[in-house]
A = this chain, B = another copy of it.
Amino acid sequence: MTDRAPSFGLLLFPDVTQLDLTGPYEVLARVPGAQVHLLWKTLDPVRSDTGLTILPTTTLAEAPPFDLILVPGGGGINALLTDDEVLGFLEERASRTRFLAGICTGSLALGAAGLLDGKRAATHWASRNFLAAYGATPVAERVVVDGTLFTGGGVTAGIDVALRIVGNLFGVDSAKLVQLAIEYDPQPPFDAGSPDRAGERLTADLLARMRPMLDARVAAVASGAVALQRRRSQRTG
């Protein structure tokens, strides 16, 4: 760890899936002395994809140094895949931030920032096929650690990822204290947390509902990959 208090930067953006963000937030904020920042372009309130509205605490331009930058996912991730300000921030900060994390489709933004090249990575199961566009190896696991990069599966995987990060940064006992404090002893009342468990019928039903968003994501991921190649060739050209 660094000498200063641990500092975590969590990206907040329009149409974020709020639990991708608020799950890890609860875990990270319970590390004694931790500073948790919510980052966006402005300090205006940001509305999640289900309507929960959260206040950012710091702008990207004024963000302090962080030990970890975490990017949650959600419908709004599509717009970030070609957002120069956000991608530039992630790219510029990556080399001087100890850990990076992508939760759910937040991993795709790390990819569009050029940070997944040759890395093993997780994302929401319904978007896993998009990772290859950014040079990542998709992994069907809930938490994937590749060097200093942590990625997680969909939404609630963020809680597991954040506990792993706390364990790595501060030791197992610190992570266990947080786990006990938030009574994270999950007992899902149903067994449908993955396509395998939910079965073909429910998975097809959910994919049908997600289809418009996933169709838009095909185009967004491709545009993000083209833009990434252009930035890279400009740099080397």
Contacts and interface: CB of A to CB of B under 8 A. Distances in A.
Contacts of A156: 159, 182-186
A65 to B, nearest CB: 19
A172 to B, nearest CB: 6
Nearest to A27: B19
Contacts of A51: 29, 36, 57
Given A25-B50, A52-B22, A177-B205, A186 B198 contact: no
Interface of A: 17-19, 22-23, 25-26, 29-30, 36, 38, 45, 50-55, 57, 104, 124-125, 142-143, 153-157, 159-160, 163-164, 167, 172-173, 175-177, 179-190, 192-195, 197-198, 202-203, 205-206, 210
A176 B54 CA distance: 27
A202 B176 CA distance: 8
Given A167-B190, A189-B164, A26 B17 contact: yes
Contacts of A203: 180
A50 B30 contact: yes
Nearest to A24: B19
Nearest to A26: B19
A29 B186 CA distance: 20
Interface centre among A26, A184, A185, A194 (most CB of B within 10 A): A185
A192 B206 contact: no
B45 A55 contact: yes
Contacts of A197: 180, 185
B186 A160 contact: yes
5 contacts: A45-B55, A155-B182, A156-B183, A175-B190, A176-B198
